[in-house]
Structure 1
Amino acid sequence: MSDQQPSESAKRSLGTRLKELRLDAGLTGIELARRCGWHKTKVSKLEHGPQRPTEEDLRKWATTCNAQGLIPELIATSREIEQMWSDYKRRHKRGMKLLQFQAMDLYAKSKLIRVYESLFIPGFLQTVEYTKAQFTIHARLHGLPLEDVEEAAHNRMARKKFLGTGAPMFTFLLEASALSNNTGGLEVMNGQLDYLKEVSSLPYVSVGIIPQGRVRSLYPGEGFYLFDESLLKQEFWSGAFQTSRPENIAYFLRVFAALRDQAVFGSAAREEIEAARGRLQET
């Protein structure tokens, strides 16, 4: 996982949009600031990102640029940007144990959940032993209480109640490398791979593996979750990103389709799982 915050690009896009409105209105930054009653440097800060616009700033900007009709759109964009990025310090205020229940309502109302992972087994498909090993790493990285790992891992298992029910349906795409990244040791990984084979046979659950060495039509990338065609979630080293912007959803739907075209399913996927087991035993 990289340490870049995807919300930064959205902030820059909003700043660019504001600049375009100003230029279309034929105003310099100094003149726009004067008309809005701001310090002369504020316009530059809002356009280039160091300062986030308030909703009142957006109303003044659009009104001064004779673009009052865009006020609702600008405010909606700004509000979404505010919710896009959640650093782990903020997310962990509830603690690892309660965090596992946070998205249960989202899972329940979704009809189709698409998941791509390149580094590890997705949470829905994890055994409790694998989850404990992963959470131990996570707790040490973020300075969280190790004594919470056991309960947090068992709490994560609650989401499995959705698997195989059709409400929602699931499509998982995993890079073969995610199967052989050793999390917890050989015994834990053997149990995890056994469970992965088991769950791949459930109704309404599709598990695809992108084999190692396959000629790529799309390179591996950051893992992501798509909930229907309405919400995208990603996790990074330092926090989590989410967006409902239609252009972002459309982009990741195309990415998912391209990755799916490279994956194998059914018996071929189970062969990839066994191949990963073999690689682990060789290390």
Structure 2
Amino acid sequence: MPTPYSAAQEARAALANRLREIRNRAGLSGRELASLAKWHESKVSKIEHAKQPPSVYDIKAWCLHCGAGDSVAEELVAALHAAEGMWTEWQRMEQGGLRQAQEFVTPIYEGCGSSGVRR
């Protein structure tokens, strides 16, 4: 079972991959998209590698310049909000101490033998 942190990371990575796919289908390089959107040229790379989360505005501009429809943009905005919610949950858990997170995964590890395979 994924931890809240890994689930949040996976959600961010999935959103980043989807944005990359949209840009590639549009036949645009990262620099071309950045130029069209009037962004710094490194912003596209940071978003696509999940180093920087996109804003709602970024997603809408991305979809506009790549020719993706409004429904795609709204789907991606929903995915962004879901990922942000996961991050918020992880941050709350971390602020309260990692004991809760450790208690969450302990039964999983205890169910594994020395081979690391769940019994």
Q: Which TM-score bucket, shorter chain as reference?
A: 0.7 to 0.9
Question: For residues 178-221 of structure 1, what are the alpha-carbon distances to aligned partners after superposition, in whole Å with 9 as ceiling and x for unaligned?
Answer: 6xxxxxxxxxxxxxxxxxxxxxxxxxxxxxxxxx99xxxxx42x
Aligned counterpart, 1:80: 82
Is 2:27 aligned against 1:26?
yes
How has the CA–CA distance of structure 1 residues 32 and 119 changed in structure 2, closer, same or farther, with 3 Å as cutoff?
same
CA RMSD of aligned residues (A): 3.1
Shift of 1:74: 0.2
TM-score by length of 1: 0.33
Question: For residues 92-130 of structure 1, what are the alpha-carbon distances to aligned partners after superposition, in whole Å with 9 as ceiling and x for unaligned?
Answer: 39xxxxxxxxxxxxxxxxxxxxxxx8628xxxxxxxxxx
| Counterpart-to-counterpart distance in 1, 2:55 and 2:21 | 18
Q: Which runs of 5 or more residues in structure 1 are unaligned?
A: 94-116, 121-174, 179-211, 214-218, 221-261, 263-283
Q: How does 1:25-44 map to 2 (within 5 A)?
A: 25-44=26-45
Q: How does 1:1-283 map to 2 (within 5 A)?
A: 5-68=6-69, 69-85=71-87, 86-87=90-91, 88-90=93-95, 92=96, 119=107, 219-220=117-118
Shift of 1:9: 1.6
Letter in 1 for 2:25: D
Secondary structure at the counterpart of residue 6 of structure 1? helix
Shift of 1:6: 2.5
Letter in 2 for 1:57: D
Question: For residues 163-189 of structure 1, what are the alpha-carbon distances to aligned partners after superposition, in whole Å with 9 as ceiling and x for unaligned?
Answer: xxxxxxxxxxxx9x56xxxxxxxxxxx
Question: For residues 126-179 of structure 1, what are the alpha-carbon distances to aligned partners after superposition, in whole Å with 9 as ceiling and x for unaligned?
Answer: xxxxxxxxxxxxxxxxxxxxxxxxxxxxxxxxxxxxxxxxxxxxxxxxx9x56x
How has the CA–CA distance of structure 1 residues 38 and 119 changed in structure 2, closer, same or farther, with 3 Å as cutoff?
same
The structure in which a higher percent of residues are strand is 1
| Counterpart-to-counterpart distance in 1, 2:2 and 2:57 | 34
| Counterpart-to-counterpart distance in 1, 2:8 and 2:86 | 6
Bigger Rg, which one = 1
Structure 1 segments, 4+ long, off by >2 Å, are 1-6, 87-90
| Counterpart-to-counterpart distance in 1, 2:2 and 2:23 | 34
Q: Which runs of 5 or more residues in structure 2 are unaligned?
A: 98-104
Shift of 1:89: 3.6
Letter in 2 for 1:15: A
Letter in 2 for 1:39: H
| Counterpart-to-counterpart distance in 2, 1:65 and 1:41 | 17
How has the CA–CA distance of structure 1 residues 2 and 65 changed in structure 2, closer, same or farther, with 3 Å as cutoff?
closer
Shift of 1:5: 2.6
Percent identity for Structure 1 against Structure 2? 34
Aligned counterpart, 1:181: none
